[in-house]
Structure 1
């Protein structure tokens, strides 16, 4: 596996590239505040075992990629209010900008077309890629994501509360404990993470690239993006929508709405899965994504 950093779309992007250079490529796009490490190594290995080249990367404003410190920290509550009343919302950057980052990374790697897989906010970015860059999208897989439709059910109260009550002390141990608690609240009730593994992962991510200010700016991009249903109607790539039936943060209605607004999309729901990628489901998820990508290739041939 190659870990590297490059300048693409005018920013620095840190990425990991695994698999033969001539294998079909899968671009993995992570969600809000998530570093590339949130794609489990076992999941990447499983995709590689299916014969794919996998590229995972830190989005802008997270991990080791460019941080937009000069943009300041937005007032998310005020932005939400403005968006509800149809007033203009001006984020530091948009989800379309983040989609362009992914395409610029593929340009750097010399990859003309790829299978696009996104989780949560990464699913929203992947939706933009499929809609805006149809010639470069072999297939789309949108995981635990949604359409931006305001009429859909909101996150469960406990999930919203834990995300809204990030400790302000700045103490590393407080933040690590909080992150473990948040992961438990939004995670898969049917597949709880082993405590030692969860603690180790959270601590490693904290030490690698903890940057909460970037999360606020990414959230601002989500708020500004609004409703994507009309955009999704333009997606032509074969699409698989995967969603946990017990997701407390993005209820399953978001996955259903996504599938309903992309022509020909297939919906795979998984009992017991919440808003994470549990180790116990790595093979299930990798098999579904790889099968979708291979089926797409077979049809195209």
Structure 2
């Protein structure tokens, strides 16, 4: 058997919804679950990234969060308006949301139940990091290790996104496929910060793939509401005992680098790795560094828990 074999997408019924997931590698290897960010389909964990992790001795599972890609679409929640964001920022009036990050944490745990996985290494990017943190707080027995990438604690004192990153996040959804493909490239150019030719060369094919799998702009709005309605995890993160690695780019325009530092400072014993020139993305030239760090951290955590 090819140990880094990629299995086709499957559906798992959990927590009252259906999640679309895929696996890479040997099911007997240590399970490692990748949780994607806001409005991002699982294919943004590039196939090659997943294969490289599988080659390090992990059974890699990636999935579409609720309201994105091929997973269940929910309903409710008007698009977020500037007024509501202003109220949240100035008056601290919480945003209403059909569901919260805690529900998305339960989705992930439910997926593990369906796959018969008692505990796993969790790697979350951006909103995925927030979901992984929520699992570490609420379901600590389900984690072998936690890696939180380009994420934050929800602490309102952390500086917000750059104007440019915020504008792309709040832009009205594209009206046509062509507009979507163009916007995809523009978005990642802003989020990556700087020039990454290898990534840029793949953008169009990846945009085509995400478009073909299905877009759900209303779902992205609900995910954003979930983040804003969930508030700060900072105090609760002090209870986390899971071995934690925090990875953040020094030039992240969407989640300020202070967000990563705050996460590491809030979780007892967490290790912090700041990657120079990395924005809010997982650029190909930085994979070796990231994959090495995840591999070492996860396998190191397993050694600790088995002895």
Q: Does 74-83 or 53-62 show the bigger shift?
A: 74-83
Is residue 298 of structure 2 the alignment partner of residue 284 of structure 1?
no
With normalisation by structure 1, the TM-score equals 0.95
8 Å CA contact 2:199–2:284 kept in 1: the answer is: no
- Any gaps of 5 or more consecutive residues in structure 1? none
Q: Among 187, 203, 216, which residue is 2:221 paired with? A: 216
The Cα shift of 1:76 comes to: 4.4
Residues 286 and 200 of structure 1: CA distance in aligned 2, closer, same or farther (over 3 Å): same
- Any gaps of 5 or more consecutive residues in structure 2? 1-5
CA RMSD of aligned residues (A): 1.5
Distance 2:173 2:301 in 1: 45
Is residue 249 of structure 2 the alignment partner of residue 244 of structure 1?
yes
**Which residue does the alignment assign to 1:107?**
113
The Cα shift of 1:47 comes to: 0.8
Alignment of 1:72-91 (within 5 A): 72-84=77-89, 85-91=91-97
8 Å CA contact 1:43–1:282 kept in 2: the answer is: yes
With normalisation by structure 2, the TM-score equals 0.93
Is residue 24 of structure 2 the alignment partner of residue 42 of structure 1?
no
**Which residue does the alignment assign to 2:3?**
none
**Which residue does the alignment assign to 1:153?**
159
Distance 1:7 1:78 in 2: 37
Residues 128 and 192 of structure 1: CA distance in aligned 2, closer, same or farther (over 3 Å): farther
**Which residue does the alignment assign to 1:229?**
234
8 Å CA contact 2:130–2:152 kept in 1: the answer is: yes
Residues 51 and 203 of structure 1: CA distance in aligned 2, closer, same or farther (over 3 Å): same
Distance 2:95 2:158 in 1: 21
Secondary structure of 2:141's counterpart equals helix
**Which residue does the alignment assign to 2:25?**
19
**Which residue does the alignment assign to 2:139?**
133
Secondary structure of 2:220's counterpart equals helix
Q: Among 259, 263, 269, which residue is 2:264 paired with? A: 259
Count matched residues: 299
Q: Does 100-109 or 198-207 show the bigger shift?
A: 198-207
Distance 2:81 2:193 in 1: 27
